[in-house]
Amino acid sequence: MDADLFLTWVRGTGLDIAIGIFVLGTLWRLFEIYSLGRKPDLAVPRHRTGASGLHTIYRRSLTSPRTYGSSALGYVAGYVFHIGLFIIVFLFAQHIKLIHELTGLSWPGLPSQFIDATAVVTLATMLLVLAERINKPVKRFISTFGDYAGWALTFLPVLTGYLASRHLLFSYTWMLALHILSVELLLIFLPFTKLIHVFTLWGSRWYNGDVNAKKGVPV
């Protein structure tokens, strides 16, 4: 297949298909989740200082050092690669340009050298997270195919994007096409895998905190 034709397809038809599935799939999953509702709580609320949905969002976002134990490296790596993903997706000039074309929104980006360095750190920490998942017996036992698939779907766009920006492995045209294709695969599968937590994380933490707050239990 000609690289230019492949790049044209993934930039056009392929991207349209991926965005369509992503938007419709995400809306459907959110509808499924938030339309479940919950049974009326007939118990008398037990108000307690420091127990609420917002407090839970805050506490769960700042992991206590007491929970680190022998997994401190995994916790730190998890925070680092999530921050790295945010920087790469939303602060890289080319990504901002694409977002502007799709939504009309725009903001200043960071230097490409900083983005490249962030990509390297992100890839390294993602490999550390994977290694810990494989080497820790408990994490390995509770991990499913979906966990590894979600990791791969997240890892590949960062890897191919870095290789494309550095003109490594294949020609730039091929690497750019593969990068866009990997992003499209991520968009297509995100609503139907555990990656949906991108949209449900804060809501679920607030819900757990709110429910337990009415029981007088800080979470």
- Residue 47: inside a domain, yes or no? no
What is residue 175's predicted lDDT score, i.e. its pLDDT?
94
Please report whether residue 55 resides in a domain.
Answer: no
Type and span of the H or E element at 97: helix 93-103
**Whether 177 contacts 183, CB under 8 Å:** no
Residue 200 dihedral angles phi and psi, to the nearest 5°:
-105, -10
Res 69: pLDDT: 61
Cβ neighbours, 10 Å, residue 158: 23
| Percentage, residues of the chain above pLDDT 90 | 57
- Residue 130 burial by Cβ neighbours in a 10 Å radius (0-12, 13-18, 19+): middle
Mean pLDDT of 76-100: 93
CA 75 to each of CA 48, 60, 70: distance values in angstroms, whole numbers, following the listed order: 29, 12, 10
Spatial CB neighbours of 167, under 8 Å, sequence gap ≥ 6: 175
Is 56 within a domain? no
Domain range for 130? 3-37+65-213
Q: Could you identify the residue written with the tokens 């679920």?
A: 204
pTM of the model: 0.85
User: Which of these, 18, 22, 30, lies nearest to 199 by C-alpha position?
Assistant: 30
d(CA 181, CA 13): 11
In a domain, 180, yes or no: yes
How many angstroms separate the CA atoms of 11 and 135, rounded?
Answer: 39
Picking from 115, 102, 121, the residue whose alpha carbon sits closest to that of residue 161 is: 115
Closest CA to 206 of 60, 40, 3, 94: 60
Longest dimension (CA), the chain: 68
CB atoms within 10 A of CB 117: 12
> Is residue 125 within 8 Å of residue 75, measured between CB atoms?
no
In a domain, 42, yes or no: no
Query: What whole-number percentage of the chain has pLDDT above 70?
Result: 88
User: What is the number of domains present in the chain?
Assistant: 1
Q: Is residue 57 part of a domain?
A: no
**Where residue 199 sits, what CATH number does that domain have?**
1.20.950.20
Task: Write out pLDDT tens, residues 161-179.
Answer: 999 999 998 999 999 999 9
Quick: pLDDT tens for 39-60: 776 666 676 666 676 777 677 7
Q: Is residue 109 part of a domain?
A: yes
pLDDT at 13: 94
The verdict on residue 48 lying in a domain is no
Q: How many Å apart are CA 25 and CA 190, to the nearest integer? A: 8
Residues in the chain: 219
